[in-house]
Amino acid sequence: MKTIIQYISVLLLLLSLSSCSEELVGKVETGTVKGLVVKQGTNEPLKNVKVHTSPTTETVFTGDDGSFIIENIPLGDYSVRAELNGYITSFQGVNLKTEQQVVTVVFEMSDDNSLNSPPSVPVLISPIDNATDQPLEVDLSWSSTDPDSTDILKYKVVIKNDFDLNVITVNDLTDTHYYLDSLKFGVTYYWQVEANDGINPPVNSPVFRFKTSTTPNNRFHYVKKHANGNYYIVSANETNTNFPFTTSNSNSWRPRLNQNAGLIAFLRTVGGNAQIFTAKPDGSQEFQVTTVPVAGFDNAEIDFSWSTNGQDFLYANFNNLYKINKDGSGHQLIYSTPDGSFISEVDWSYDSSKIAIKTNDANGYSVKIYIIDMLGNTIKTILQGVTGAAGGLNFSVDGNQLLYTHDVSGHQEPSYRQLDTHIFSYNLLTDVVTDWSVASSKPNGTNDLDPRFSPNNAEIIFMNTSNDNISPRNIEKITMQTSDRTALFPDAEMPDWE
């Protein structure tokens, strides 16, 4: 009997324990958290965002529509965390209070760039604001910093002026300076710099301004040859303080200043032909005078001439000599060579009564230099019946002397190479010829070319170079009273002194 009672007691105890266990399990109540993850500002759904809770329950990832769901979360307080590379981790607090409760949350995630700081406002350094008397080439400089060391700043520079509507815009600079050239005299320029880190909106500097110096009264002009093969013209004073009168983008040569016209005329290649152009002394207001081109056997050897009053030009087209007004009107034929030879060079006397002409054949030889009046009558023959190249015509102010050059070696070849070219002056009153190259001791193996009288007739400016045709060309002058040679401009040719 005692055994039966003990057995029944154990059975009741087991039943009691089983009932308590079922009661404990039944008390674990759960809820659900679901939601959506979007990009802040655009509400674009973000996929593959890692979403999990703290305390930890389950980790899920958002779908293509940005949604997620975490089920069977025991009731309680949780922090829900959303993580995605390239975005700032976001948190949401939730409280699950009742069985089967569903809590909905929305995460608006910001990308990492939202923590990025913009660059500082660019500080313009040089030229200072309201600077005056600036050269035609300036180095614009500024400074700007960025708090984020990994950012790469790029700059945009905008330059305007009060002369025309031209706007210069330079993009994607990484240096804090920009070399600005080809400016114009007496013009006010306005410049501003924009800094951009590629993340934040661009930051603009204030607008600074500077003014270039006024046009200098340069009396010297010469030609240099650019690496691209084009000639360009330089304006200079006696100390060779200079500026490019034309750019190397076009082929321009034979500058001729006329003080009365206030213009500089020159030749320029247009469509393969040489045309006469004029421009202001600062290089502005370029104007094409001719449509019938200046033409001869070689563009580099041809020349033209102003009238003293600056109203018109004389120029040649093969065997024809034309006169044309500086505005392009009044084009007329005034002379043709009787034998059909080419007119390569022409010079008009100061009083406009005489014209010096150099003619040659298609190869530049069979040269003849002579003087005609305005009716085409030959007044005097200066040079004929010689071999070798010749040219360089220029009247003295009084019209009594004529400069010219001649290769006294008599050398002739298809490349038109000259071996020993001298400068001569012919006195029209006495027929006396002076060899200035001999008088001034021209170096052996060189040529003296393109001579012109100085404005006071006391000196001769010219170009000297080795006869090898590859050495530098240098502009010099001869003082006629002493026959001394003086170097003027290195690496230059085709001088003009007015």
pLDDT at 112 over 80: no
Please check whether residue 371 is in contact with residue 400, taking contact to mean a CB–CB distance below 8 angstroms.
no
Q: What is the DSSP letter of 164?
A: S
- For the chain, give the mean pLDDT: 92
- The one-letter amino acid code at 150 reads T
pLDDT higher than threshold 60 for residue 5: no
How far apart, in whole angstroms, are the C-alpha atoms of residue 391 and residue 219? 23
Work out the percent of the chain whose per-residue pLDDT is above 70. Answer: 94
Burial class (CB in 10 A: 0-12, 13-18, 19+), 8: exposed
CATH code given to domain 26-114: 2.60.40.1120
pLDDT at res. 24 = 45
Task: Summarize the confidence of residues 377-388 as an average pLDDT.
Answer: 97
Calpha distance 158→140 (Å, rounded): 11
From CA 316, how far away is CA 298, in angstroms rounded?
Answer: 12
455 upstream amide cis, omega within 30 of 0 = no
Give the 3-state secondary structure percentages of the chain, helix then strand then coil, rounded to 5.
Answer: 5, 50, 45
Using only C-alpha atoms, the chain has a radius of gyration, in whole angstroms, of 44
Q: What is the pLDDT of residues 200-237, one digit of tens each?
A: 899 999 999 999 999 999 999 999 999 999 999 999 99
Query: Does 240 score more than 80 pLDDT?
Result: yes
> What are the CA-CA distances from residue 120 to residues 61, 148, 199 (Å)?
40, 11, 13
Q: Which residue has the tokens 């001579």?
A: 451
**pLDDT digit string (tens) for 410-440?**
999 999 999 999 999 999 999 999 999 999 9
Q: Where are the domains of the chain?
A: 26-114, 116-212, 220-497
Non-local (6+) Cβ contacts of 56 within 8 A are none
Confidence tier at 82 by pLDDT (50, 70, 90): very high
**Cα separation, 261 vs 259, whole angstroms:** 6
Read off the pLDDT band of 16 (50, 70, 90): low
From the list 392, 395, 394, 403, the residue with the least C-alpha distance to 426 is 403
Sign of CA dihedral 387, 388, 391, 395: negative
Higher pLDDT, 25 or 389: 389
Cβ neighbourhood burial of 76 (10 Å; 0-12, 13-18, 19+)? middle
Tell me the pairing of strands 131-134 and 208-212. Answer: parallel
Q: Which CATH architecture has domain 220-497?
A: 6 Propeller (2.120)
**Does residue 1 have a pLDDT over 50?**
no
**Res 9 pLDDT > 90:** no
* Residue 481: per-residue pLDDT: 97
Average pLDDT over residues 168-187: 94
**Residue 465 CA from chain centroid, whole number:** 31
182 pLDDT band (50/70/90 cuts)? confident
Instruction: Give the residue from 348, 368, 347 showing the smallest Cα distance to 358.
Output: 368
Q: Starting at the edge strand that comes first in sequence, how are the strands of the sheet with 273-279 ordered?
A: 252-258, 263-270, 273-279, 287-288
What pLDDT score was predicted for residue 22?
46
Backbone angles phi, psi at 372, to 5 degrees: -120, 160
Model-level pTM? 0.69
DSSP code of 55?
S
Q: Are strands 287-288 and 484-489 parallel, antiparallel or unpaired?
A: unpaired
pLDDT value at residue 20: 46
- SS3 category, 115: helix
Distance of CA 402 to the CA centre of its chain: 42
Of 432, 399, 405, 439, nearest to 420 by C-alpha is: 405
Asked if residues 249 and 239 have their Cβ atoms less than 8 Å apart, the reply is no
SS3 assignment, position 291: coil
Four-point Cα dihedral 416, 417, 418, 419, nearest 10: -150
Nearest to 460, CA basis, from 419, 433, 497: 497
Task: Provide the β-strand partners of residue 78.
Answer: 94
Whether the pLDDT of residue 282 is over 60: the answer is yes
Q: What is 116-212's CATH number?
A: 2.60.40.10
Indicate the pairing of strand 273-279 with strand 287-288.
antiparallel
Q: Which residue has the higher pLDDT, 195 or 14?
A: 195
Q: Cβ–Cβ contacts within 10 Å for residue 287, how many?
A: 14
More confident residue, 378 or 42: 378
CB 269 within 8 A of CB 302: no
Do 26-114 and 116-212 have matching folds?
Answer: yes
Which tens digits make up the pLDDT trace of 120-174?
999 999 999 999 999 889 999 999 999 887 889 999 999 999 988 999 999 999 9
For residue 331, how many C-alpha atoms fall within 13 Å in the half-sphere facing its CB?
14
